[in-house]
Structures are given as structure tokens and as C-alpha cells.
Amino acid sequence: METSEPKATHYLWLDWLRFLAAFAVLVCHGRGFFLPEYAEIPIEQRNIFIFIFYSLTRLANDPVVIFFVLSGFLVGGKGLARISQGTFNCRSYFIDRFARIFPPLLGCTIFYCIAAQFYQEYPVNYWHCLGNLLSLQNIFCPTPVEPFWSLAYEVWFYILLGTLGVFVTTSNSKVKVLTLIILGCICWILTKLDIQYMLILFLGIGAYFIKIKNRPIWKFFLIFGLFLFAIAANQMGAASNAFQGLAVIPVVVTRIILGLTVCFLIIWWAGASSENKYILWFNQFGK
């Protein structure tokens, strides 16, 4: 294994993986909002298919880990490579991140504020909504919409990377001092968040710069086995109404293992994408 600065190659399978992770989060949250807990289903109505469906839709945090690794790899890794090459465009970077995140976030927040008017048990706190629009949820205010929690990590990760890009690329000493102060403030804000998720984002950056020369198939299956083990361990440690949870290994540890295995699967697959005919076919699938 060696570190290197990879070529700017677009892997279609990464788009598929990102879509599947996002779709899994959507399905998991949708099941939690619209369907009863498994323990609330009458015993005579339970069957193997319902059990499998409820088991698969307990994976809400695992797809988030995958999504964080992908964000670190695709955004953080590419951004850091451009910073090191001196080709980082701060204006384009911030416009791109803003356009991808803020319009759907604003739309969802407005929809929540309207929908909550019909449910007295969900009073709207507009200050909390404003805090969420500024990505301050779970830092200075709670999140009124549960799935918004992960946005704070991604947004501040992106701001950190963009500010670092400004600091490195600018030659203006006053701007350097200002960005250094901003970087200090960002680091302080990050201390208010759960460090395990920030670490997973940074693991994705590391994966972008690592290249594996030898890729025997047994390594792939070994890493994939660890990936499945981490998911199973996470689910064993997650409590619900029907299951109290049995964390043989701390969930924090299994999440980090999951993040590492996703990193190595991406590294292995990316390295094999230029030489394996089946992976080449898959990478073209959907174009």
C-alpha cells in the first residue's frame, strides 16, 4: 500500500453507492415515521418477510457512516488534492457546496414549518429552525427534524476544508490572519459534535490518497467480511422496543471499523476499476 495523488477519475459505481446509502437512510427513516415498531405488530401477523424488512430498516446509522466516508473521499479528498496542487477555487467550491445543500434544506424546513401547524404536539420553534439552517443543530440548538442531525457534520466539514483552502492559497497576510481565526472557531465548534463522525469523514480523505498495488481477491472478501461484521455488531448494539441491544463491542468501535472497511473497499475497487472487465462493465452501467 502506498500513498499517492490519484488522477481525477469519475467512478460511476461511487454514484450508485452514494445513492444506495442515501436511499437506505430514506427508507429507514420512512419506516420509523410511518410504520409501527416490530414489537407492536401482532404475533399472528409476523412472518419472515416482515422480519427481514424490519431488520434491514434498522440500518439508519450504518448508511450514514458510508455516506460520510464518501463525502470525505469525493469532496474532502478531491478538495485537499486541489489545495496541494494550487488549483483550488474557493469561490466555485463554496458556491457548489451551498447550491447542493441549502436549497433542499430550506425547502424541507419550510415544509416542516407548514406541516407542523396541523399537529399541536409538534410546536414550531422558529429559532431552532434558524439554527438548523445555519447548521448549528446539536451544537447550540436541538434539531426539529431528526434526519437533519448529520448535516451539521457535513456542513462544518466542508466549511473547514474551504477555509483551509483560502488560508493556503491566499497571499494576503490579513486574509491569512482572518482565516486562521475562523479555523480556530471552526475547530471549537467541531468539539461540540461527536468526534467519531468527524473521524469517519477524515478517513474518507485518507482513502482518496491511498493506492493498493496488489489486490488479491481474498483481501476483498476479508475486508467485505469485516464490513458485514461491523454492520451486524452495530445492529446488535442498537436497542429498540423489541430488542434491548447487546453491545459486545462498543458501538463507537464498530462504527470506526465500518468506516475503515468502507474506505478499504473503495480503495480496492477503485484500483481494480481499470483492469477488471466486470468492474469496467459495472462502471459503465447506467451511462
For the chain, percent of residues with pLDDT exceeding 70: 85
Q: Are 157 and 135 in contact (CB under 8 A)?
A: no
Give per-residue pLDDT as tens, 209-251. 987 777 777 778 888 888 888 888 777 766 555 555 556 677 7
DSSP 85-139: HT---HHHHHHHHHHHHHHHHHHHHHHHHHHGGG-TTS---HHHHHHHHTT-BTT
Cα(246)–Cα(5) distance, integer angstroms: 42
Residues 267-277: pLDDT tens digits?
887 766 555 56
The Cβ of residue 149 has, within 10 Å, a number of other Cβ atoms equal to 17
86 phi-psi bin (left φ>0, alpha ψ -120 to 50, beta other): left
Q: Nearest-CA neighbor of 22 among 72, 52, 62?
A: 62
Residue 234 lies in a domain: yes
Residue 253 lies in a domain: yes
CA angle 211, 216, 217 (to 5 degrees): 115
Helices and strands (DSSP H and E) totals, the chain: 12, 2
Kindly report, residue by residue over 165-179, the tens digit of the pLDDT.
999 998 899 999 999
Per the structure, the count of domains in the chain is 1
Q: For 107-158, how does the pLDDT look when each residue is reduced to its tens digit (9 = 90+)?
A: 999 999 998 888 777 788 899 999 999 999 999 999 888 888 999 999 999 9
**Is 62 part of a structural domain of the chain?**
yes
Where in the sequence is the domain holding 41, given as residue range(s)? 8-284
Question: Does residue 3 lie within any of the structural domains?
Answer: no
Using DSSP's 3-state secondary structure scheme, residue 3 falls into strand
CA–CA separation, 127 and 137 (whole Å)? 11
- Whether residue 1 lies inside any domain: the answer is no
